[in-house]
């Protein structure tokens, strides 16, 4: 029996001194501390003029779907298992936490966060919250599932069913086709 070698994420990291921007594999990347992330997540919750929670998730979904789809194409990654592994590694490399896709198919799946950057920041700033707040993670997961299965953005929706910020030991996301 041949042992399968895990595909490793390789990121080309560059700092553009002209624009003062970080580029990761050719795409602009802006990284924030978990305190700042908690603040703009709270702003999304407080916004009553529009559905800012969905906007936050959709922005994350758009950005990560584009990044992952481009990465898979550039590196000729086609096996779903490799793509899932690379999405998990990307989540960690971006500082968003530890993501595990526990089951995935072209129509549905589940993702688990053993550690969450967003939840950690929220808890440090305000303590536990009665409802999930990880719209950024939900967007990442939705975008990743679409990229893994070569589907357009907005194909999947990830719903947080269990949350670290609400006292659970891990966060769980149910992922389904919209």
Q: What percent of the chain has pLDDT over 70?
A: 97
Q: Is the pLDDT of residue 31 over 80?
A: no
Question: CB neighbours of 114 closer than 8 A, spacing ≥ 6?
Answer: 97, 98, 100, 170
Q: Is the pLDDT of residue 57 over 70?
A: yes
Q: Do residues 15 and 99 lie in contact, with contact meaning Cβ atoms separated by under 8 Å?
A: no
Global pTM value = 0.91
| Alpha carbon separation from 108 to 29, 65, 150 (Å, rounded) | 29, 17, 14
Element (H, E) at 104: strand 97-104
| Alpha carbon separation from 125 to 31, 41, 170 (Å, rounded) | 18, 12, 19
For residue 81, name the pLDDT band (cuts at 50, 70, 90). very high
Largest Cα–Cα distance in the chain?
59
Q: Is the pLDDT of residue 165 over 80?
A: yes
Compute the distance between CA of residue 51 and CA of residue 115 in angstroms, rounded to an integer. Answer: 26
- In terms of DSSP H, where are the helices of 8-134? 34-46, 52-74, 80-93, 117-126
Q: What percent of the chain has pLDDT over 90?
A: 74
The structure tokens 């969450």 sit at 116
Q: Do residues 113 and 98 lie in contact, with contact meaning Cβ atoms separated by under 8 Å?
A: yes
Least confident of 24-33, 71-80, 147-156, 162-171: 24-33
Q: Do residues 123 and 166 lie in contact, with contact meaning Cβ atoms separated by under 8 Å?
A: no
Least confident of 3-7, 148-152, 168-172: 3-7
Compute the distance between CA of residue 135 and CA of residue 60 in angstroms, rounded to an integer. Answer: 8
**What is the set of domains in the chain, with CATH numbers?**
34-177 (3.30.1380.20)
Mean pLDDT of 104-123: 94
pLDDT top residue among 23 and 1: 23
């Amino acid at each position: 029996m041949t042992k399968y070698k895990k595909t490793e994420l390789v990121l080309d990291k560059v700092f553009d001194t002209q624009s003062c921007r970080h580029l990761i594999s050719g795409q602009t990347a802006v990284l924030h501390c978990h305190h700042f992330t908690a603040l703009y997540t709270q702003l999304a919750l407080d916004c009553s003029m529009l559905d800012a929670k969905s906007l936050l998730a959709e922005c994350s979904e758009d950005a990560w779907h584009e990044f992952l789809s481009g990465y898979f194409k550039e590196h000729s990654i086609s096996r779903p298992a490799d793509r899932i592994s690379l999405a998990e590694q990307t989540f960690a490399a971006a500082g968003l936490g530890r993501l595990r896709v526990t089951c995935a198919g072209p129509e549905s799946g589940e993702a688990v966060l053993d550690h969450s950057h967003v939840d950690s920041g929220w808890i440090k700033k305000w303590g536990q919250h009665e409802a999930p707040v990880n719209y950024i993670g939900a967007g990442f997961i939705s975008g990743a599932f679409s990229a893994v299965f070569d589907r357009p953005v907005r194909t999947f929706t990830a719903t947080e069913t269990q949350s670290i910020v609400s006292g659970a030991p891990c966060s769980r996301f149910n992922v389904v086709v919209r």
